[in-house]
Every structure is written in C-alpha cells, then in structure tokens.
Amino acid sequence: MPADAPRLLLLGCGAFGRVHLAALAALGLAPRVLGFDPDPAAATAARAAFPWLRLAAGLEAGLAACDAVILATPVPTHAALAATVLRAGRDLFLEKPAVERAEEARALLRLAAERGRIVQVGLYFRSHPKARALRALIAEGAFGRLHWLAGRFSGLKRARGDSGALLNDAVHFADLLPWLAGAPVARVFAQLADPLGRGREDLAVLQLRFADGALGLIEAGCVLPGRWPDAVVPGAETRKEIAVAGSAALAEVDFAAETFRLRRGRHRPAAGGAFVPEHAPAETVAAPAAGPVQVVAAELAAFLDCLAARRAPEADLRAGALLPALVLDAARRSAQEGRAVAVEEA
C-alpha cells in the first residue's frame, strides 16, 4: 500500500458494497478504509464479513475522516448523496447507475466542476478484460465497419426494490455498446413491461440506431430464463452476453461463461446476385477471466491512479453518467409514446 494512499469512505455496505470491500482488501487498502451505512444491519453484516473494517459513527464523521468516497447505496439515494460528497470537497467513485435521470447527471457535472472534484462512475464491464480485448480489436479495425451490437443482461433473479430493468440491468449495455462502437446512440425504440405488476419495468427491450448507422439491441430483465449461476446474486441465473458484427468479423462474448468467440471473414459476391459468407473457423480470443472482485479492483485502481495524477477518468460523469442516462430517458419516452425517439444531445 502506498504511504500516500487516500483515506477512503465506503458509503453503502450492502451486497455490492461488500464486493468493494473485498477488492479494497485485495489492493492492500484495508487500513485506509472506513465504512458507513444508514442501515445498521448492513453495516453489521459487512463488519462480520470483514473484521478489519472500521465503521464511521455517521456520514458527517465519515466525510471528515476521508479524502475520497466510494458510493454504493441504493439507486434513488445517489444524486443527493453524491452532491453531499462533492459539496464536502471529496472525490467520488459512484457506482452504477450513477443517477436515475439525465437532469441529475447534469447537476452533478456542474457541481463537480465548481468544486474541482474527480468523479468516476463504476461501469463494471468497461474494466472486464474481455470487453477491453474486444474494444481493442474494434479500434484496430479487425471488424471493419460495424453494423450490429447487441447485449443481453437478463435472467431469473430477484426484482430489486429500488429500480427496474433499465437502471439495474440495461444501463450496463447502454454504456458498454457505445463505448465499444466509438459512436453514440442516436435513436431508441423501446418496449417496457411490468410482468410482476409491481409498478416497475422488469422487462425491457431497446432497439438502437447509432450515430454512424449501426444497429443495436439490448434485452434486460429479471423474469427471463437464465443460463449460468450469477456471480454476485446468490441463487440467481443469468445471461450476460454481447454480440458484435462488422464487415470483416463477428464476435460473441459471454461474461458469465468467460468465453470470447471470434470469426473473421466477409460476405463475397456470388452468382445470381447472392452474397455468401467466407469466414474462417471460430477462434478463441485470449483474454483473462475475471470475477467481480478482480473487476472492481481494476476499477478502483484506475480511480486511485486518477486521484494521484489529478486527471479525469475515462468513465467520468459525462461519459459514465450523462450519456447512459440520456439513452434510458429516451427509452422511457419511446415506450410511453410508442415510437422511436432521438436521444438528446449531451
């Protein structure tokens, strides 16, 4: 652990907060960490799982004793708590989804700029080795011109009490697909359903058109067949998959199974106006496996590097909070109006 490592406050000690604690311990930062959760049961459970964890007496005391905050509380609390952290002059790692609506992201952007604070959004899949390997292949031109990006983040699991499929699941790929494509989403046509009758969308299908003309699709929900045991939610079955297709290659990445399958090749003209595929056999792309603790540790290490250099993170508030929120806002409007709608400019 560097002698000048910042003092960190973990705000929110629930299930994913405990993943953060494991990641912080793996980084050798346990002595620099305080925890606080307004729910005493969550704080007690975290302390039982991580006996080294020191708990702050309250939020104000925790903020006074730290240099930066990791915010992993329920989604509806993010905007207000993030603003409190920034007003206290602390840098912030803000778990996804950063906010519920784009207007909240804009307010936090203004506040962070006013206070000169660094904010990184915890966008899990950006730090997964397979997503990073796929992005590198796209950037070097291995896929040619992209025409399709799709993500499935769905399965059979509990419906969170604080959010539906858009904020809990679809947000991952509302960020990841444009990040991979290197182009923003321009238009969205969405259909949302409430199969549990609880007043939230627990099933969401988003059709996307990117600014460069590529098409996309996001499926999200907690009421669909899963395929693999979920690495974070005990007893849940999940699918966490993306597919990318371009003029020179096709790929499928299954994050739950840790597979990355690539086929290089093109459709070639044939007799009678047909085009036939001439693709090489599937190859397995070498990219390390990574569980939740390793991925979160990579996110936090990047955050600490940004703090040390006082530079903006790749997944800052504009890229990691505002842009995904604009896509999800457009999805809500589309579902309500029954038509494709343009994504607002950032």
Tell me the mean pLDDT in the region 152-169.
95
192 Cβ neighbours under 8 A, 6+ residues apart: 164, 165, 166, 201, 203, 204, 331, 332, 335
| CB proximity list for 346: less than 8 A, separation 6 or greater | 318, 322, 323, 326
Over residues 295-309, the pLDDT tens digits come to 999 999 999 999 999
Rounded Cα distance, 36 and 32, in Å: 14
Tokens of 25: 């311990």
Instruction: Give the pLDDT of residue 234.
Output: 85
pLDDT at 1 over 60: no
Q: Decide: helix, strand or coil at residue 155.
A: strand
Kind and range of the H or E run holding 305: helix 292-309
Confidence of residue 231 (pLDDT cuts 50, 70, 90): confident
Q: pLDDT tens across 91-125, in order?
A: 999 999 999 999 999 999 999 999 999 999 999 99
Domains defined for the chain, CATH in brackets:
8-125+294-316 (3.40.50.720), 128-289+326-341 (3.30.360.10)
pLDDT single digits (tens) 237-251: 999 999 999 999 999
| Nearest-10 Cα torsion for 86, 89, 95, 97 | 10
pTM score: 0.95
Is pLDDT at 3 greater than 70 in this prediction? no
Instruction: Band the pLDDT of 72: cuts 50, 70, 90.
Output: very high
What is the model's pLDDT at position 90? 98
Most distant CA pair in the chain: distance in Å?
A: 76
| CA–CA gap between residue 53 and residue 337 (Å, rounded) | 49
Confidence of residue 2 (pLDDT cuts 50, 70, 90): low
What torsion, rounded to 10 degrees, do the Cα atoms 94, 100, 105, 108 define? -60
Q: How many CB atoms lie within 10 A of CB 277?
A: 10
Length of the chain: 346
CB neighbour list of residue 51: distance below 8 Å, 6 or more residues apart = none
